[in-house]
Amino acid sequence: MNISVVVLVKNNEDTLFKTLKSLKGFNDVVVYDNGSTDNSIEIAKSFSNVHLVQGEFKGFGWTKNQAASFTKNDWVLIIDSDEVVDNELFKTLTTAKLNSNTVYKLNFKAFYKNIQIKHCGWNNQKIKRLYNKKITHYNSNDVHEDIITDGLITKELQGSVEHYSYHTISQFIKKADHYSTLFAKNNVGKKNSSPAKAFFNGAYSFIRTYIFKRGFLDGYVGLIIAFSHMTTNFYKYIKLYELNKEQKLLMSIKD
């Protein structure tokens, strides 16, 4: 198969085995570990088709491009260490005639533990994940990174990726803190923010997820997701507000 797979890893022992097992049919899987202290490295080494690379994490965009530089093939498929390629998608990838001027989208099915999330805006998302590295690459965003598609075509492939992103409520809390910090650092001095903006962005995120996107139909899990969206967006903009204030203070002292 002329497709290489890139998997970024840091302390994902709970999901990594399932991810790599779904990728056994690929002859080149680059696992880029950025500081695991659990059994992730040992799990990666147990698969003969895995090329383990240990390196730095400098935001998701930079790190995915760095990991892709170790792949053997021109075509690169990005799979997270909590995702599983289903049988239909694998068959599609083995038979598809890929066009180098096309970036391919995959369908995503989201799960909390083993509960499929059918609402909240999580189910059947179409995300760009397969591209030719000689033609394009990821942008440099620390978070909300994306494959650059200027002048290129996008097309969806048949099959799905199953995303097992959360297994405990504590993981929602940790990721809200982590992603909001990355957003703030990436946008300090570039975007304006305020306490009011943080409050209203958070409130709107909850209403949009729980009401407009019918998160209430997912039961208590829908409530967890909606609240997580609210807190993530609140902290994104309140952290940005704080960093902008600190930057202005430093600049005034230097002057």
76 close to 68: Cβ distance less than 8 angstroms: yes
Q: What is the pLDDT along the chain (255 residues), one digit of tens a residue?
A: 799 999 999 999 999 999 999 999 999 999 999 999 999 999 999 999 999 999 999 999 999 999 999 999 999 999 999 999 999 999 999 999 999 999 999 999 999 998 999 999 998 899 999 999 999 999 998 888 999 999 999 999 999 999 998 989 999 999 999 999 999 998 999 999 999 999 999 999 999 999 999 999 999 999 999 999 999 999 999 999 999 999 988 888 876
DSSP code of residue 37: -
Burial of 237 (0-12, 13-18, 19+ CB in 10 A): buried
Give the DSSP per-residue string, 110-173. EEETTEEE-STTTTTEEEEEEEETTT--B---SSS--B--TT-EEEEEEEEEEEEEESSHHHHH
- Of 67, 74, 86, the C-alpha closest to 23 is 86
d(CA 54, CA 172): 26
Widest pairwise Cα distance in the chain: 62
pTM for this prediction = 0.79
89 close to 161: Cβ distance less than 8 angstroms: yes
CATH 3.90.550.10 fits 3-166, yes or no: yes
- Of 182, 176, 174, 107, the C-alpha closest to 140 is 182
Quick check: helix, strand or coil at residue 21?
helix
55, amino acid identity: G
Measured in degrees and rounded to the nearest 5, phi and psi for residue 120 equal 65, 5
